[in-house]
Amino acid sequence: MEASFDIALASAYVNAHMYSQGLHVSRVAAKDSDFQGVSEKRYEIKDPKEMSRLIKKIGALFGSPLVRIVKLNPEWSYEHAPGDGRGYKYGEPVDIPEHWQYGIIMGIPLSWETREGAPSFFHTFEGYGNASMHCARMAEFVKKLGYPARENSPHARYEYIMPPHMVAAGIGEQGRLGVVVTPEFGPNFRPSMVVTNMPLEPDKPIDVGIRKFCMNCKICADQCPSGSISFDGPKEINGRGYDGWQINASTCHNFWMSVPNGGCRVCLAVCPFSKESNWLHTTARDIAVRERTGITASTLTWMEKAFYGVNTPEHYHYKEGTRQFDYLVGEKPWFFESKDFLKEN
């Protein structure tokens, strides 16, 4: 008995790596999969604060550089399924169990080269796979300690709305482009979340000046190919007690589906916070968020346009017979240049 207890955490960690992939993709996961694979023995948590510290360490080992805990808000959930998966069909009413209490938020920054060179295709789906896998591993880890868990990820689908929960957990601040901008990676971060009733200690929101910067910047709105990003200030969203920016989901989705590869991340790629960290970009970001008058933000926004160029929304529209949709913003990464490695039949 003592030996099995001693290796409980190690065993949960190993099992999470071994068995997570097949159980947690949307085609497999069912509505009752929360208890699928849950250990019959439930380990009592000594201290929620210390358990949260452990969860963050395990999340980092699974590959997520940011791991935060949030107290779930039932108001911040979908009323209807945003896609097929977990036993739901698109548009069906979502029935979320009352026993969920906390969310373990994780995610992955996408490679800077694919973000810059291929935001419409490789960049998008690279994030889907990695964020989903981290989430699946954490769900398995929690279950092996005797607690139910449910993933909210691209592959398992989302039932909770991520931006307000990410803001509440201190991952970052919501930006004008509708997603959360993190201090570490900007909006270049694909989130996922495991919900559970394991006793944990929630993190707190942060204010590092990103929201204030977005009030003045508007580069993402200027260059959005579908005009889906608002130039106005933030406001309460759908009466759910959350104040932020909301994009026009219909026009965004329609443009997304018009791109041959299926996707668009122009707003993310042009965001000034989506720059790979070096001394210049790090210094500029630090200055921009610390000086709250807006003067510095306006100056840095002008410099961003001057150094990196300004494109019109039409620049990003697919042109028949071209490969423009594969490298919308920057140069195509060398490892995506097919003609250098493959013979075209």
**What are the extents of the domains in the chain?**
2-196, 210-324
Distance CA 199, CA 43 (A): 11
What is the per-residue pLDDT for 206? 94
| Higher per-residue pLDDT: 178 or 323 | 178
pLDDT confidence band for 3 (50 / 70 / 90) = very low
- Lowest mean pLDDT segment, chosen from 118-132, 140-154, 167-181: 118-132
Q: For domain 2-196, which architecture applies? A: 3-Layer(aba) Sandwich (3.40)
CA distances from 308 to 123, 131, 175, 220, 298 (A): 20, 29, 20, 13, 15
DSSP 126-145: HHHHHHHHHHHHHHHHHHHT
Q: What is the pLDDT of residues 127-159, one digit of tens each?
A: 777 888 889 899 999 999 999 999 898 888 888
Which two tokens mark 62?
């699974």
Share of the chain above pLDDT 70, in %: 70
Residue of 319, 284, 331, 279 lying closest to 304 (CA atoms): 284
Which two tokens mark 12?
């949960």
Q: What is the pLDDT of residues 259-299, one digit of tens each?
A: 766 678 888 888 888 876 665 566 666 666 666 666 666 77
Which two tokens mark 225?
């190919």
Instruction: Give the dihedral sign, CA 215/244/103/133.
Output: negative
Q: Can you give the pTM of this predicted structure? A: 0.83
Residue 46 has pLDDT above 90, yes or no: yes
Q: 289 phi and psi, to 5 degrees? A: -85, -20
Residue with tokens 């948590």: 45
Is residue 146 within 8 A of residue 42, CB to CB? The reply is yes
Which two tokens mark 138?
């954490």
What is the per-residue pLDDT for 157? 83
Highest mean pLDDT, choosing among 42-46, 264-268, 278-282, 301-305 = 42-46
pLDDT confidence band for 212 (50 / 70 / 90) = confident
Instruction: Give the dihedral sign, CA 181/251/325/216.
Output: negative
Distance CA 182, CA 237 (A): 21
Distance CA 339, CA 337 (A): 6
Q: Where are the alpha helices (DSSP H) in 26-176?
A: 48-62, 112-117, 122-144, 162-168
Q: What mean pLDDT is reported for the chain?
A: 81
**Three-class SS of residue 258?**
helix
Q: 327 phi and psi, to 5 degrees? A: -145, 70
DSSP 265-324: -HHHHH-TT-S---HHHHHHHHHHHH-TTSHHHHHHHHHHHHHH----GGGGS--TTS-G
What is the per-residue pLDDT for 1? 39
CA distances from 135 to 31, 62, 152, 295 (A): 17, 9, 8, 40
Within 8 A by CB and 6+ apart from 273, the residues are 175, 181, 186, 187, 188, 210, 285
**Three-class SS of residue 173?**
strand
CA distances from 303 to 246, 252, 281, 307, 342 (A): 27, 28, 12, 6, 40
What is the per-residue pLDDT for 294? 63
Residue of 135, 184, 183, 143 lying closest to 160 (CA atoms): 135
**Three-class SS of residue 174?**
strand
pLDDT confidence band for 193 (50 / 70 / 90) = very high
